Structure 1
């Protein structure tokens, strides 16, 4: 057994109370609307084409109230179309730099805890958990998928909620990196020769050689062989920018890591994506696996398995919660299974070195 895993307590750059806001937008109606609200609250207003300067000479409390009102009165789409800089510097070069990296009003509101409960993220303890991936032929463990969990005020929070909040607050890249590297570091003492499946969002990797450098170091320091790493990309994320996806996957492969398409579901677009990406692993979605008794989903799943095998890859059936689903997954050609039938996600200290079946 390994010792208890030390939870992550990352620090986040949450904004301080602001006394001045500089807002910019290309939409004609938004800044005048904000200006009217701010003026009615007694704030000092300055305007220029496409810009709004709001100053609170009384310490910033009215700025807080302004942001609260904007969160209620503007639509989400409108807040995405406004850039905002709090307490902008007076120096021209510094101001220009700040404006180039200014977040949207939606991100600013999220970071200030106005539109969502950011305490779920900023106050969370984070740690990885691991779910076994089994051979559908022999029944032995061949790998583990790392998932992120958190705790706030004694309540456990799932990774989906954490990543949703991080994306709203513009912190997706940081949380994605923390989760990747924690998964690798905490698996090192017990993983043995099993594969480690690690989730990663291509949107969090701007330039692979730079953004993945610390992950590469984490793999080296953990002593995990590169070929044991399988980085998962959710299929729906992959569709948005195919060219960027391929650059990320190519970089993974250049380091000896394997790649997986996760949550591959019903639809011939899935077949096209597998054809283009040629992943080492295809993970059939829980929704698709749950419908394997239906002719249509069964035909799609069988086609995905055949295509993946043609490229030399392997197929994991996700959401396997019964022997019946395991049998159906085997019948359509899946090699591996993952789900509550085989085990729920557990913290690393609950894992002994698994008995491996090299299937």
Structure 2
């Protein structure tokens, strides 16, 4: 309140003093010929000097800005103290001039006192106590002056001025009350605004901070990345995306609480190791982001960070160890837009994880071709009609004991009008990063079930399902509906899932696979041994078969490889699962697998993947053995 009053007075008091000087100077001039010099020169000179000093003081204080609350209160007290003496001094001086001059000069004195006091009261509207003191200092003497003239005109003027001042003071106090309420409301609004700003800032920080690790989150990462690229200074900086290896098994084995504590510890290590030029972010899950403004040292920084990630961590009584993969993109070499830098850092991460098996991968021009090829495939996937462009081939699966065809694995082949023939290893991986994988799965199932109706009843049909399909309720429902309407015995249909697909969400995968198993469909775990699955996972899943990865089969000619494969087959038999060996290419491998007790096998030893028409020709003789070398040679 005091600050607002002082702020208003800083603007109005100089006007008050200016009004006082001009009006007083006019009175002194009109009386210069009649009154002595002591009243027209000396006395006003003293008053004018004091007034000018006070006016200069207020003008200077107005330039210094708002006073502090203590300074404002001091100014208000000072104005209240000097208001009455100054008013009384000017009133006394002007009344002392009344005996001199004629009726016009006396009327001027009356006019001077009445108008000046009204003007001063208006200037002191925000300090009513000072205005009241001014009125009380001037009005009694003025009324006495008017009645002392013993003229009706002067008496009427005195009464009139007294009434005007009374009304004016009432209006002043009413106006001050409104001013006080307005200041209070403004102060309340300012307080609320400040509190709102504080809360907004806290909310902004919360929105930009990861609640688990205390690191800036994905939103802050994108905001900072946008800011760096928008500056367009040309100075290089590096963007990194770091993903933890083996975190998923730890999280599933020991629970989310241990997983969260592990992420907290990793976050602290990264922040402590990064250095002043590196900002660390948690992007979500087990993924972290980095922005480093010192590109020259970023390679060493990456190595230090990965060393800290790989170092064992003790969580309670448990000692845990994870790895890390880091993809890096540098501005401006890898791009000048935030989205391009992140995409290319993420692509480098994918390359580091899946090609290098961990470590650091820098996005370089050599990867640009791969990125463009991937994007071309991704664009073609979004625009393709898979019913027309997608075809299937069937990979025979042979029963080792009898040599008869027991099943076929349905494999997708894609021929795009613009890109030509595209390897399944290329387009499936890209499709899994978008929604195109669901359309591919649906098209393959429809074509595969149509082919199954033409195959002998003794031949099963096996389909692959990706990790994305397992979490898509609509795709799973479509597959169930297609199986129900296919007119094929459910036991002839097999669904294959990889270890990687299962490990992403073991509980959801088990639930989805159990729904298929309830229909009578068989479930096979593909590429067994290449992921991080354990016996516990295998037992939790509703499995019927395990497909041994080709990497184990390829190592059968070594003692160690043969021992491992035999152990896997024995393990599967122990828990009631049959085995299918993949990638069998030599007779020696077939014999070793048969001796180890493996029931089924597939590979180029028996046949390459065949179109339906060729497979039907081979199936014409239902009793023919696929182990016949002459028949294999003819097919090859």
Report the TM range for the smaller structure's normalisation.
0.5 to 0.7
Aligned to 2:496: 232
Aligned to 1:117: 376
Shift of 1:323: 0.6
Change (3 A) 1:292 1:271: farther
Q: Distance in 1 between matches of 2:373 and 2:603?
A: 37
The one of 226, 250, 264 equivalent to 1:31 is 226
2:583 is the alignment partner of 1:319:
yes
Aligned to 1:203: 468
2:430 is the alignment partner of 1:165:
yes
- Checking the alignment, whether the CA contact within 8 Å between 2:470 and 2:508 is kept in structure 1 is no
Aligned to 2:398: 134
Structure 2 SS opposite 1:148: strand
Q: Distance in 1 between matches of 2:397 and 2:346?
A: 44
Shift of 1:128: 1.2
Shift of 1:76: 3.7
Q: Distance in 2 between matches of 1:178 and 1:36?
A: 47
If you compute each CA radius of gyration, which structure gives the higher value, 1 or 2? 2
Q: Distance in 2 between matches of 1:165 and 1:267?
A: 20
Aligned to 1:188: 453
Structure 2 SS opposite 1:116: helix
- Checking the alignment, whether the CA contact within 8 Å between 2:409 and 2:462 is kept in structure 1 is yes
Structure 2 SS opposite 1:168: coil
Q: Which runs of 5+ in 1 are unaligned?
A: 1-23, 38-66, 81-112
Shift of 1:150: 0.7
Change (3 A) 1:234 1:199: same
For residues 31-70 of structure 1, the aligned pairs below 5 Å read 31-33=226-228, 35-36=230-231
Q: Distance in 2 between matches of 1:305 and 1:270?
A: 15
**TM score, norm. by length of structure 2:** 0.39
2:413 is the alignment partner of 1:156:
no
- Checking the alignment, whether the CA contact within 8 Å between 2:410 and 2:448 is kept in structure 1 is yes
- Checking the alignment, whether the CA contact within 8 Å between 2:394 and 2:609 is kept in structure 1 is yes
Shift of 1:34: 5.1
Change (3 A) 1:115 1:298: closer
Structure 1 vs Structure 2 CA RMSD: 3.1
- Checking the alignment, whether the CA contact within 8 Å between 1:128 and 1:186 is kept in structure 2 is no
Shift of 1:139: 0.7
Q: Distance in 2 between matches of 1:138 and 1:172?
A: 37
Q: Distance in 2 between matches of 1:267 and 1:205?
A: 17
Change (3 A) 1:191 1:30: farther
- Checking the alignment, whether the CA contact within 8 Å between 2:393 and 2:412 is kept in structure 1 is yes
Change (3 A) 1:68 1:174: farther
- Checking the alignment, whether the CA contact within 8 Å between 1:278 and 1:311 is kept in structure 2 is no
Structure 2 SS opposite 1:117: helix
For residues 143-292 of structure 1, the aligned pairs below 5 Å read 143-153=407-417, 155-206=420-471, 208=473, 210-265=474-529, 269-277=533-541, 279-292=543-556
- Which of 1 and 2 has higher RCO (CA within 8 Å, sep 6+)? 1
Q: Distance in 2 between matches of 1:323 and 1:348?
A: 26
Aligned to 1:335: 599
Shift of 1:69: 5.0
Change (3 A) 1:261 1:79: closer
Change (3 A) 1:268 1:334: farther
Shift of 1:78: 6.2
Shift of 1:244: 1.6
Shift of 1:144: 0.4
Structure 1 SS opposite 2:610: coil
Q: Distance in 2 between matches of 1:292 and 1:265?
A: 14
Deviations 1:1-55 (A, max 9, x none): xxxxxxxxxxxxxxxxxxxxxxx93424223245456xxxxxxxxxxxxxxxxxx
For residues 336-355 of structure 1, the aligned pairs below 5 Å read 336-352=600-616, 354=619, 355=621
Shift of 1:207: 5.2
Structure 2 SS opposite 1:212: helix
Structure 2 SS opposite 1:128: strand
Q: Distance in 2 between matches of 1:237 and 1:347?
A: 27
Q: Distance in 2 between matches of 1:266 and 1:169?
A: 24
Structure 2 SS opposite 1:138: coil
Structure 1 SS opposite 2:432: helix
Shift of 1:185: 2.4
Q: Which runs of 5+ in 2 are unaligned?
A: 1-217, 233-334, 349-371, 624-636
Change (3 A) 1:321 1:71: farther
Shift of 1:351: 2.6
Q: Distance in 2 between matches of 1:226 and 1:267?
A: 29
For residues 72-111 of structure 1, the aligned pairs below 5 Å read 72-77=340-345
Change (3 A) 1:295 1:216: same
**TM score, norm. by length of structure 1:** 0.67
